[in-house]
């Protein structure tokens, strides 16, 4: 069984190697290069096969004209003596007399194809160019020129060249390509694998580094140089993603721990009160007091769970925001009317600043919840005799919804953390007031969901102002 298992492991390893990016990239590169070389070779072969015969015909004509102009005449008879220089390979020169009888030749071992019609035409003073094939199978390009002496035909010159040289060159080209193309492709395979390994090596390092990173430890980073190439951007994007994941996991752990802590206290109180009430028979007022306290704890847990559900839906993007025209000035008046009994009970003066109709596009329910959270928070931290004011105004294309109080104020070190979940400046007082520590987090989410942002300014002992910046409607829309 072990040899079979080893073969299976080897097969899996080979399959993974063949499916790796570097192998596939190299194969695609080699296939493309092979196609390019084959197409180029075929084009070169076809071009040479078409141009070589033309070149042969041109060379034969040039050589024939040069020989005819320099041919010697002895006693009126032409001769090749002293006129033949170095002829191109495969070229043959034959000299005839005026009667068409051969006088001389540059190569007695290479007879030319018989062209009686061309010789007969030359005897009448007409030159010609012919293509003829010998019994051996070679094709010849033959130029026939009459040699004149004082307007008389003194002889006939034939210059010819076969296509053997051209076929030899084409055959050599085929052999060269048959040898060179596989060698080039082999070198391309080796070079391609090397270059692909060098190019994709950083990706392997990214993969190995990513394998070492788990949900338990997200502090590790790739620490690649932030180059402008694809690998550098990939590594920096991966590190940025890990930063976001680490922050998200930390927020989730903190959120879970805080939620458990917040729920544990009222649950423990609920259990202890019910156990105390059930220890022995009690009178009706005592049962009523126990039920009232139990109801208060249940209401607080219900509020906490509702706010947790809101934030969870907001985080997952499933909490929908309606889009409708909302007049912030009317909204402020409605919220002040609703919160007025609480303010009067705490002897806090609650009013709205002067404002004209200011319209935004948003969710009236969520914007009401935003203002209720801000106003309720302001009333809770304002002493008796203080005041809370709600203002609505426009600035640079934004609608500003502000809640200002004359309360105890917030120290500067707490301001950056106010919108964090379950963050409390005074934890003991916040719990006694019935707060959950999520109101400002929900307010921040509502403003951001409407495309705005929220700011806070505060001075200890003077008061605090929360300002929500919401996108304003265009003037044309407001007038509609």
**Predicted local distance difference test score (pLDDT) of residue 4:** 45
pTM strictly above 0.85 = no
pLDDT score at 289: 82
At residue 76 the predicted structure's pLDDT band, cuts being 50, 70 and 90, is confident
Q: Is the pLDDT of residue 74 over 80?
A: no
pLDDT digits (tens, 9 = 90+) for 354-365: 778 888 999 998
Does residue 471 register a pLDDT over 80?
yes
Q: How would residue 129 be classed by pLDDT, with cut points 50, 70 and 90? A: confident
Confidence of residue 225 (pLDDT cuts 50, 70, 90): low
CATH architecture of structural domain 70-163: 2-Layer Sandwich (3.30)
**Domain residue extents for the chain:** 2-49+169-210, 70-163, 230-314, 322-479
Tens of pLDDT, residue by residue over 418-446, are: 888 777 776 544 444 555 677 888 889 89
Round to whole Å and give the CA distance between 131 and 112. 11
Residue-level pLDDT at 10: 41
- pLDDT at residue 409 greater than cutoff 60: yes
Q: What confidence score (pLDDT) does residue 61 get?
A: 87
CATH number of this structure's domain 322-479:
3.30.565.10
Tell me the fold of 230-314: Helix Hairpins (1.10.287)
pLDDT tens digits, 151-202: 788 888 888 888 887 888 888 889 999 999 999 999 988 888 888 777 777 7
């Amino acid at each position: 069984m072990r040899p079979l298992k080893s073969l299976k492991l080897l097969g899996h390893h080979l399959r993974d190697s063949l499916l790796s990016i570097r192998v596939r990239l190299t194969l695609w590169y080699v296939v493309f290069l092979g196609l390019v070389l084959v197409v180029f070779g075929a084009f070169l072969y076809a071009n040479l096969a078409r141009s070589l015969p033309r070149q042969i015909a041109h060379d034969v004509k040039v050589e024939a004209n040069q020989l005819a102009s320099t041919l010697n005449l002895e006693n009126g008879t032409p001769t090749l003596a002293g006129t033949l220089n170095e002829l191109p390979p495969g070229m043959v020169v034959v000299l005839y007399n005026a009667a068409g009888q051969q006088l001389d030749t540059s190569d007695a071992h290479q007879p030319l194809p018989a062209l009686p019609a061309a010789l007969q035409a030359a005897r009448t003073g007409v030159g010609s160019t012919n293509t003829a094939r010998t019994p051996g199978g070679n094709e010849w390009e033959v130029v026939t020129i009459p040699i004149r002496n004082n307007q008389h035909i003194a002889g006939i010159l034939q210059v010819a060249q076969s296509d053997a040289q051209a076929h030899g060159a084409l055959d050599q080209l085929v052999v060269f390509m048959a040898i060179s193309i596989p060698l080039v492709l082999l070198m391309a395979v080796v070079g391609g694998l090397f270059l692909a390994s060098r190019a994709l090596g950083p990706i392997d390092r990214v993969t190995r580094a990513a394998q070492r990173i788990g949900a338990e430890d997200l502090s590790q980073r790739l620490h690649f140089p932030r180059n402008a190439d694809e690998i550098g951007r990939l590594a920096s994007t991966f590190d940025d993603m890990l930063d976001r994941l680490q922050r998200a996991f930390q927020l989730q752990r903190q959120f879970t721990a805080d939620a458990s802590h917040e729920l544990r206290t009222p649950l423990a109180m609920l259990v202890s009160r019910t156990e105390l009430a059930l220890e022995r028979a009690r009178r009706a007022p005592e049962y009523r007091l126990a039920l009232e306290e139990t109801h208060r704890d249940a209401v607080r847990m219900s509020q906490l769970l509702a706010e947790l559900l809101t934030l969870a839906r907001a985080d997952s993007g499933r909490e929908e925001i309606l889009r409708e025209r909302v007049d912030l000035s009317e909204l402020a008046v409605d919220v002040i009317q609703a919160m007025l009994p609480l303010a009067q009970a705490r002897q806090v003066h609650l009013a709205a600043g002067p404002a004209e109709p200011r319209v935004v596009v948003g969710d009236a329910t969520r914007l009401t919840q935003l203002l209720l959270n801000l106003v309720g928070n302001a009333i809770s931290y304002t002493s008796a005799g203080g005041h809370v004011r709600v203002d609505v105004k426009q600035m640079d294309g934004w609608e500003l919804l502000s809640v200002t109080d004359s309360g105890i104020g917030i120290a500067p070190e707490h301001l950056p953390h106010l919108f964090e979940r379950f963050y409390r400046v005074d934890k003991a007082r916040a719990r006694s007031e019935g707060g959950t520590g999520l109101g400002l987090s929900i307010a921040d989410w509502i403003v951001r969901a409407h495309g705005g942002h929220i700011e806070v300014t505060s001075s200890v002992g003077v008061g605090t102002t929360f300002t929500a910046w919401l996108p304003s409607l265009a003037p044309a829309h407001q007038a509609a």
